[in-house]
């Protein structure tokens, strides 16, 4: 196990760690957690690593007890942005944290990447500090911050760190480690892909770098913010991207090109590392985050779905990277041998379970298209739709001795599923791989809203529901759909929300999970929310920002709850839809 105290370090013959990894999560030695992947990858290349997990920011010894690392500190806020981890979309403090023993909240500071980095700089002086993880990745350049309601600087500047690693970092971290071990200064590591660095010397700038609007321009003019977002989006693929830079009063912040996606062989190597698949033994209380993934398999990374509200493609990219069947079967055997395994593999998937291959052959030689979506409001005619390999993996997994069921719980993209003329996978999914209910994400019913989300027209969802129901009947299954629905996304008016409520009423649903749109850093939808402009077509878009209206839109999705009666009535009156107040079957609420 990766050591977390001096005694454990010494027991492994480590008297000074090469790197000390500081994380806002409790340390779980499982490949679903970024800190574990980085620690085990460094270990594989013979670098010693120790971990400081969820240090008490008020206690210097929490940072000092492992000593000074030989090459530097690696800092991450954890698997989730610390502000999203702490606050609801209503900016209320969350009471639970799934990444902390006992599910307790408050074990990491707000803006953990910044706070940890500044603390390390204060205590250790001029030692390399390298930041990464989802928080650093999504805040790598100037970005709208929902909690401050303003545009913040690159987190590289605010943290005082020396280097930022964005995206998935297995290749990058070894290149950095080898460079530091060879004697290079951290300030000289300006050539490594997947990194962001800062300089005061314009002569160090890559000749091919594209100039983004400056921080002051982005701060002062929302049109500049839109333009910056567009340039970043167009330069996000390893094959086609150019370096980007933005200017600040005293610095240039430079983003190097993304690194090439992992090959299947490289992915297999990562997931074959000797993870214990358990929380560190130092913890006495259970950590909720491990429960769903402990008996799950990650089959791929990346997503070409292109949902405008999702930050996944900013971190993992649009190009799918998959593992081999042999690697997944090998990991499944490790799961089966666990003493607490009950015969159920909870999930086989990734960001989107049924995206197992690259979206088209064109990507192999030309990269992902800059200004064209693979799927969404409409699909590209070059989109390759094939579930055969993924189905083969699921079939062989469920035939292993000791396995009772193999479920698919990470989201299934229903429009991609419906495009497949071969219904073998759809049949197998319904017959073998659903645990009573299938989670699906139509998000809305209004096609104007769906277009702003880059989701397919609602008619496609209705066609999917009909097919799903018919297959359940065919296989004599009584399985349900659990639709994820979103309120207050840019483009959604009260009229849109009422249409959604009417559909829920018509189909006799009672959604338990409702998500208000959450403007997280870096997404197209957040750009819309902040600027009121859709960066896809440069057209103005309606944005529900008023807290009262947002509450109404949310309440409409759960109109049947007595606690929502007043808000729903106010919404219907405001939208001139009092015809939906009454005793008739079509009415949403009674007078």
Residue 455 has pLDDT above 80, yes or no: yes
Q: What is the pLDDT of residue 364?
A: 85
> pLDDT band at 411, cuts 50/70/90?
confident
3-state secondary structure of 234: helix
Q: What is the pLDDT of residue 451?
A: 97
Residue 513 has pLDDT above 80, yes or no: no
Residue 429 has pLDDT above 80, yes or no: yes
Residues 6+ apart with CB under 8 A from 457: 377, 447, 450
Average pLDDT of the residues in 398-423 = 95
Q: What is the pLDDT of residue 297?
A: 97
Would you say how long the chain is, in residues? 591
Q: What is the pLDDT of residue 573?
A: 97
> pLDDT band at 426, cuts 50/70/90?
very high
Residue 66 has pLDDT above 80, yes or no: yes
Residue 275 has pLDDT above 90, yes or no: yes
Q: What is the pLDDT of residue 514?
A: 83
Share of the chain above pLDDT 70, in %: 100
Do β-strands 72-76 and 150-152 pair in parallel, antiparallel, or remain unpaired?
unpaired
Name the residue with higher pLDDT: 12 or 311: 12
Q: What is the pLDDT of residue 334?
A: 95
- pTM value is 0.95
Residues 6+ apart with CB under 8 A from 340: none
Residue 512 has pLDDT above 80, yes or no: no
Q: What is the pLDDT of residue 347?
A: 96
**225-261 pLDDT, tens digit each:** 999 999 999 999 999 999 999 999 999 999 999 999 9
The span from the CA of 158 to the CA of 521, in Å, is 15
Q: What is the pLDDT of residue 315?
A: 87
- 33 burial via Cβ count (<10 Å: 0-12, 13-18, 19+): buried
Domains and CATH numbers, the chain: 6-187 (3.40.50.280), 481-591 (no CATH)
> pLDDT band at 48, cuts 50/70/90?
very high
Average pLDDT of the residues in 486-499 = 97
Name the residue with higher pLDDT: 543 or 410: 543
Q: What is the pLDDT of residue 529?
A: 98
> pLDDT band at 372, cuts 50/70/90?
confident
Of 26-40, 161-175, 235-249, 510-524, minimum mean pLDDT range: 510-524
Average pLDDT of the residues in 321-337 = 97
> pLDDT band at 96, cuts 50/70/90?
very high
Average pLDDT of the residues in 321-331 = 97
DSSP characters for 191-221?
A: S-TTEEEEES-GGGS-TTPEEPPPHHHHHH-
The per-residue pLDDT of the chain, averaged, comes to 96
Q: What is the pLDDT of residue 370?
A: 87
> pLDDT band at 314, cuts 50/70/90?
confident
Average pLDDT of the residues in 393-407 = 97
Angle in degrees, 0-180, between the axes of helices 388-398 and 325-336, rounded to the nearest 10: 30
Residue 371 has pLDDT above 90, yes or no: no
Q: What is the pLDDT of residue 458?
A: 97
Residue 496 has pLDDT above 80, yes or no: yes
Token pair of 530, please?
């902040």
Residue with tokens 């990374």, as numbered in its chain: 301
State the DSSP H helix or E strand holding residue 572, giving kind and residue range, or none if neither: helix 565-574
């Amino acid at each position: 196990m990766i050591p977390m105290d001096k005694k454990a370090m010494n027991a492994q013959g480590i008297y000074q760690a090469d790197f000390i990894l500081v994380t806002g999560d409790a340390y779980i030695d499982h490949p679903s957690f970024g800190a574990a992947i980085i620690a085990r990858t460094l270990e594989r290349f013979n670098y010693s690593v120790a971990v400081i997990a969820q240090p008490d920011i008020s206690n210097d010894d929490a940072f000092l007890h492992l000593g000074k690392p030989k090459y530097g500190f690696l800092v991450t806020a954890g698997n989730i942005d610390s502000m999203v981890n702490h606050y609801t979309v209503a900016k209320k403090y969350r009471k639970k944290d799934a990444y902390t023993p006992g599910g307790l909240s408050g074990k990491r500071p707000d803006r953990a990447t910044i706070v940890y980095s500044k603390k390390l700089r204060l205590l250790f002086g001029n030692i390399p500090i390298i930041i990464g993880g989802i928080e650093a990745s999504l805040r790598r350049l100037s970005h709208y911050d929902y909690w401050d309601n303003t545009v913040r600087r690159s987190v590289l500047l605010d943290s005082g760190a020396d280097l930022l690693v964005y995206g998935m970092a297995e290749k990058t971290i070894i290149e950095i480690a080898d460079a530091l071990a060879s004697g290079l200064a951290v300030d000289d590591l300006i050539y490594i892909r997947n990194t962001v660095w800062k300089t005061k010397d314009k002569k160090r700038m890559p000749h091919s770098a594209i100039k983004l609007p400056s921080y002051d321009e982005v701060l002062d003019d929302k049109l500049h913010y839109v333009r910056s977002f567009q340039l970043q989006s167009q330069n996000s693929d390893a094959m086609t991207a150019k370096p980007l830079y933005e200017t600040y009063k005293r610095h240039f912040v430079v983003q190097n090109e993304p690194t090439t996606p992992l090959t299947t062989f490289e992915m297999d190597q990562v997931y074959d590392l000797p993870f214990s698949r358990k929380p560190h033994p130092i913890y006495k209380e259970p950590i909720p985050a491990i429960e769903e993934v402990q008996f799950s398999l990650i089959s791929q990374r990346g997503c070409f779905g292109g949902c405008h509200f999702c930050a996944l493609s900013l971190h993992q990219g649009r190009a799918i990277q998959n593992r081999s069947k042999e690697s997944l079967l090998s990991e499944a055997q490790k799961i089966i041998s666990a003493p607490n395994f009950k015969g159920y593999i909870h999930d086989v998937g990734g960001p989107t379970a049924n995206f197992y291959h690259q979206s088209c052959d064109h990507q192999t030689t030309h990269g992902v298209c800059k200004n064209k979506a693979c799927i969404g409001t409409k699909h590209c005619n070059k989109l390759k739709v094939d579930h055969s390999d993924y189905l083969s993996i699921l079939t062989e997994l469920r035939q292993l001795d000791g396995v009772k069921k193999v479920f698919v719980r990470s989201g299934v993209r229903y429009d991609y599923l419906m495009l497949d003329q071969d219904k073998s996978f759809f049949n197998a999914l319904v017959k073998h791989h659903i645990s009573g209910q299938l989670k699906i994400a139509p998000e809305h019913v209004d096609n104007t809203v769906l277009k702003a989300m880059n989701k397919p027209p609602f008619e496609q969802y209705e066609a999917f529901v009909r097919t799903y129901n018919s297959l359940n009947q065919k296989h004599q299954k009584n399985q349900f759909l659990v639709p994820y629905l979103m309120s207050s996304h840019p483009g959604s008016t009260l009229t849109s929300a009422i249409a959604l409520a009417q559909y829920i009423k018509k189909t006799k649903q009672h959604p338990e999970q409702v998500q208000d749109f959450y403007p997280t850093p870096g997404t197209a939808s957040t750009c819309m929310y902040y600027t009121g402009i859709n960066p896809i077509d440069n057209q103005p878009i309606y944005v529900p920002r008023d807290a009262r209206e947002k509450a109404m839109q949310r309440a409409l999705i759960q109109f049947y709850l007595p606690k929502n009666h007043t808000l729903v009535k106010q919404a219907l009156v405001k939208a001139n839809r009092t015809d939906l107040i009454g005793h008739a079957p079509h009415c949403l609420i009674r007078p």
